[in-house]
Structure 1
Amino acid sequence: MFKLDTRSRVAIYEQLMEQLKTMIIRDVLQKDEKLPSVRNLAQELTINPNTIQKAYRELEHEGFIYTIPGKGSFVSPLDKSPNKKKLASLKQDIEQRIKEFLFLGGTKQELIDWLIQGSEREEGERE
């Protein structure tokens, strides 16, 4: 279910978060579906339960999941309407990354090509 790269510079909890977000966004995990318990997932992935707990806590903070004490964590219903606050934050992050990319020698055409490839790949994965 999850593929974690222990050699990656990306923290394990962040890898787990990204994979769970992807599964939620692509409807692999349905709204109100129960997620594996922290203990079970930690045993399955052979990682520290605190790592799982941190990922779940961050996902809850971001609105992707919710927790019912004594019952577990569940997938939040995704609101398909634009989240203006989150979109503005992402736009700011992307603008900063574009400035860095251009400063380091990247070209505008490379950015355009990358955006086209990324959107085509995303559309292909949805089909």
Structure 2
Amino acid sequence: MSRRVPLMLQIVTGDPRPITRQIVDGVRRMIASGELPVGAALPSVRGLAQQLTVNPNTVAKAYNELTTEGWLDARAGLGLFVAQPRQLLSNEERERRLDDAVQRFVGDVIALDLPAETVLDRVAGELSQLTPRKSA
């Protein structure tokens, strides 16, 4: 059985995203980058809540979202584990979510008044650090 190790997540109080979203985004990134491999055991709800000094309900909500999306598997009596990658969304839904994310991103960075090349280079650099999850 996999040993549970602390998730190296950081909650930023000045972040406009809710704490639940920060946890979800952080775990997704760790899985996508391979930092959390398939089958890795995640800390318990209570354990992660204590580590991050947040309410256990916040962690439970984040874990529930990740489980619903297929990132995590809940095993009765054993806990949560990184799931085998699988494609749960249709191509149309994936495209719709990408469009939504791009629109939000552009809305956030347009006020920075940076050249498009700078923004694209930064996004490409971030994406290159991630190992794509293979779809089934």
Same fold (TM over 0.5): yes
Deviation string 1:62-100 (CA, Å, 9 cap, x unpaired) is 1111111221111011248x9624422223314644785
| Greater helix content | 1
Preserved CA contact (<8 Å) 2:46 2:56: yes
Residues 1:115 and 2:93 are matched in the alignment: no
1:7 — aligned with what?
A: 14
2:48 — aligned with what?
A: 41
> TM-score with structure 1 length normalisation?
0.77
Which residue identity is paired with 1:120? Answer: G
Return the alpha-carbon distance in structure 2 between the equivalents of residues 119 and 3 of structure 1: 23
Aligned length: 123
Shift of 1:37: 0.4
Shift of 1:110: 4.1
Shift of 1:117: 2.9
Change beyond 3 A, Cα 1:50–1:126: closer
Which residue identity is paired with 2:74? Answer: T
Unaligned residue ranges in structure 1 (runs of 5+): none
Matched-pair identity in %:
30
Deviation string 1:40-64 (CA, Å, 9 cap, x unpaired) is 1111111110000000001111111
> TM-score with structure 2 length normalisation?
0.72
Unaligned residue ranges in structure 2 (runs of 5+): 1-7, 132-136
1:92 — aligned with what?
A: 99
Shift of 1:15: 0.3
Considering Cα pairs closer than 8 Å and 6+ residues apart, tell me whether 1 or 2 has the greater RCO: 2
Structure 1 runs (4+) greater than 3 angstroms displaced: 94-101, 104-107, 109-113
Change beyond 3 A, Cα 1:43–1:120: closer
